[in-house]
Chains A and B, each alone.
Chain A
Amino acid sequence: RKEVEQDPGPFNVPEGATVAFNCTYSNSASQSFFWYRQDCRKEPKLLMSVYSSGNEDGRFTAQLNRASQYISLLIRDSKLSDSATYLCVVNSLTGSNTGKLIFGQGTTLQVKP
């Protein structure tokens, strides 16, 4: 089983749509969670951190359910510029807590006019 699993998509949605991505992680001791965005295999860029209380940044809302080991990202009012691959990322905890990130394979979003 992969440590971080995502539906690879692609998700094809019209402009203005609301789209949700889900992610599950296997290490119950993980403590830090993130969504990164990657365009055309450029470098990943941090979209937002994810907290148990849920957090919102403009049109983007992230949720974390520790009991289910489940992370979600909701994008409202999709724009053409939102087309990208969205990476679910978990900070891997080892005995020494080295902070290495474990990436999901990514979910591809294509927003159509």
Chain B
Amino acid sequence: NAGVMQNPRHLVRRRGQEARLRCSPMKGHSHVYWYRQLPEEGLKFMVYLQKENIIDESGMPKERFSAEFPKEGPSILRIQQVVRGDSAAYFCASSPPRTGLKDTQYFGPGTRLTVL
């Protein structure tokens, strides 16, 4: 059973370009979470999605950031018009269909975004 897959693992963009980060959850998992880790900081929640639905986007910056988890295919985190402050590691996590409050989230290897 493959783990959570993320690609690309490293992404370099110039200021003003768009960044698209992909996440394929573990087989059988229907919940996807995105977290961001800025340099020298802890992980911060961004958004929680189920198939075709955004459940909680309370951690998403108000502008330039969007996320989706379509019926088919991976979850996408999209950052438009990137700025240097967007440089960070972006981790995706998945969990199985909700069975209780103690759901374990399994993390992908992350995408390291560098904005030049």
Interface residues of A (CB under 8 A from B): 31-32, 34, 41-46, 49, 87, 91-92, 94, 96-106
* Contacts known (A32-B101, A43-B107, A43-B109); A100 close to B45, Cβ less than 8 A: yes
Cβ–Cβ < 8 Å partners of A87 in chain B: 42-43
Q: Which residue of A lies closest to B57 (CB)?
A: A98
Cβ–Cβ < 8 Å partners of B91 in chain A: 43-44
Interface residues of B (CB under 8 A from A): 31, 33, 35, 37, 41-45, 48, 55-56, 58-59, 89, 91, 93, 95, 98, 101-110
Cβ–Cβ < 8 Å partners of B37 in chain A: 41
Q: Which residue of A lies closest to B95 (CB)?
A: A99
Would A96 and B56 count as touching, CB distance under 8 A?
Answer: yes
Distance in angstroms between the alpha carbons of A97 and B110 in the assembled complex: 25
Q: Closest approach, in angstroms, between the C-beta of A42 and any C-beta of chain B?
A: 7
The DSSP consensus for interface residues of chain A is loop
* Contacts known (A97-B101, A99-B31, A100-B33); A105 close to B41, Cβ less than 8 A: yes
Cβ–Cβ < 8 Å partners of A94 in chain B: 56, 58
Cβ–Cβ < 8 Å partners of A106 in chain B: 42
Would B43 and A100 count as touching, CB distance under 8 A?
Answer: no
Would B105 and A101 count as touching, CB distance under 8 A?
Answer: yes
Would A49 and B104 count as touching, CB distance under 8 A?
Answer: yes
Would B101 and A31 count as touching, CB distance under 8 A?
Answer: yes
Would A104 and B31 count as touching, CB distance under 8 A?
Answer: no
Would A99 and B107 count as touching, CB distance under 8 A?
Answer: no
Would A101 and B33 count as touching, CB distance under 8 A?
Answer: yes
Would A46 and B89 count as touching, CB distance under 8 A?
Answer: no
Q: Closest approach, in angstroms, between the C-beta of B88 and any C-beta of chain A?
A: 10
7 A-B pairs with the lowest CB-CB distances in the bound complex, closest first: A98-B56, A43-B107, A105-B42, A100-B45, A103-B43, A103-B42, A31-B101
Q: Which residue of A lies closest to B102 (CB)?
A: A32
Distance in angstroms between the alpha carbons of A31 and B103 in the assembled complex: 11
Cβ–Cβ < 8 Å partners of A43 in chain B: 91, 107-110
